Amino acid sequence: MTRTVGPLVLAVTALWTVVTVVSQVLAEPPLSPLVTIAAGVLLTNVLILGYGSTLRGPRQPRPRAPRPPRRQERSDVLPAGLTEDAADQAVSLLLPLLGGDAVSITDHERMLAFAGPGHDHHARGSPLYAPAREEVLSSGRTLAVSGRGDDVIGCPDPGCPLRSAAIAPLRVGEQVIGSVTVYRQTDDPPRLALVEAAAGILSLHLELGELQSRERRASDAELDALRAQINPHFLFNTLNTIASRIRTDPEDARQLLVRLSDFLRHALRPWGQFAGFSQEYAFVRTYVTLEQARFGDRLNVEYDIDPAVLGVEIPVLIVQPLVENAIKHGATGKVGRTTVRLRARVDPLSRTVGVTVKDDGVGMDGPTREAVLAGEQVSDSSGVGLSNIRARLELLFGDRHRFDVRSAPTTGTTIHLEIPLR
């Protein structure tokens, strides 16, 4: 089956971001560059070779011949089919990165994979002893525990060397489907941020597979094409911004990494064709935060949002490309400070939603503007994005929408769209 490469490119980018920050910012002391590169290459190979199958691919029918109990019922441990081999590879690769002595991956009922001291009794298929894990699976919160009592690690083996742990949830969308646990042989548990980052990147792999399995074929092709247009220069510029702050301000670098993870998670999440405006608005705010980290005082963004808009549905990934276009033709194309304004209103009389994005940047010439309004592909990359939005609106609403572009060189650009309420 042919697969689009847009989500894979974003996943590889996110993977290298997490590996870099985990090994160079959060690890104490930082790992050597050689270890960082080796881990990144290994994880990238696992992701590329297993895209759509290793971590989340279609289930392969298993023979019905008798098997040992431990290997029974493994094909349906996770909703999307996280295989035993993939889980084993994941814990082996994560172990040297997370500052612990052992690592495990579980579902809601049993151990799926374990690496490190204690593997003799924390084997695949063994029950989940730690009561704290039940709280993680039910609440979705990351927890740290210390001590070998029944109410902490909970291991019944008196010879178990593990004394502390950090447990983070694995998610597919909003559903918690398992956990990642990092153990230590001391009473000092691993850092929660490290374990949370590892669980986040594994969850991202699972969500990528979920995206491919849930969307209908036509919608899948259309939205994948849109997601693939997420500006790679933005991603690389954001990574460079994070890298530049790793040594000078590690906490700020960590916060930017969280923002970038939120951005990618929203962009890749299988919303379907529509999402709530409040979700798209939060996505825009996350994007703007990342851009303001890059441009600093050169970029000013103002919001004028009618609270009534927050509860309505709009086409997914419509507003953010408009804001990205405004920033591109403002902060990156103009000397001095740039202001971008986002305005959204509901008209109860005409039952429409209006969104306006205005910038004071370099503007567009007449031919480019006319090409965008005609829905044609133009040489300018942002024009391609605007043409894509126009084409999607035509498919979704026909002549029941408006898409206006007012622009001239040196005077900035104003884009206004109106769509019917759902």
pLDDT tens readout for residues 149-165: 555 677 778 888 888 88
3-state secondary structure of 107: coil
- pLDDT tens digit string along 83-111? 677 788 888 888 888 888 999 998 888 88
Query: What pLDDT, on a 0 to 100 scale, did the predictor assign at position 401?
Result: 93
Query: What pLDDT, on a 0 to 100 scale, did the predictor assign at position 412?
Result: 86
Mark the ranges of the chain whose per-residue pLDDT is less than 70: 1-10, 26-28, 34-35, 38, 41-43, 45-83, 148-152, 209-233, 268-271, 331-335, 372-385
Separation between Cα atoms, residue 285 and residue 187, nearest integer Å: 40
Query: What pLDDT, on a 0 to 100 scale, did the predictor assign at position 347?
Result: 94
- Domain ranges in the chain are 6-212, 273-420
Return the closest-CA partner of residue 415 out of 387, 380, 376. 387
CATH class of 6-212: alpha beta
Provide the token pair at 160.
Answer: 């178990």
pTM assigned to the model? 0.49
User: Is the backbone of residue 192 left (phi > 0), alpha (psi -120 to 50) or beta?
Assistant: alpha
Q: Matching CATH topology for 6-212 and 273-420?
A: no
Provide the token pair at 236.
Answer: 């690389």
CATH class of 273-420: alpha beta
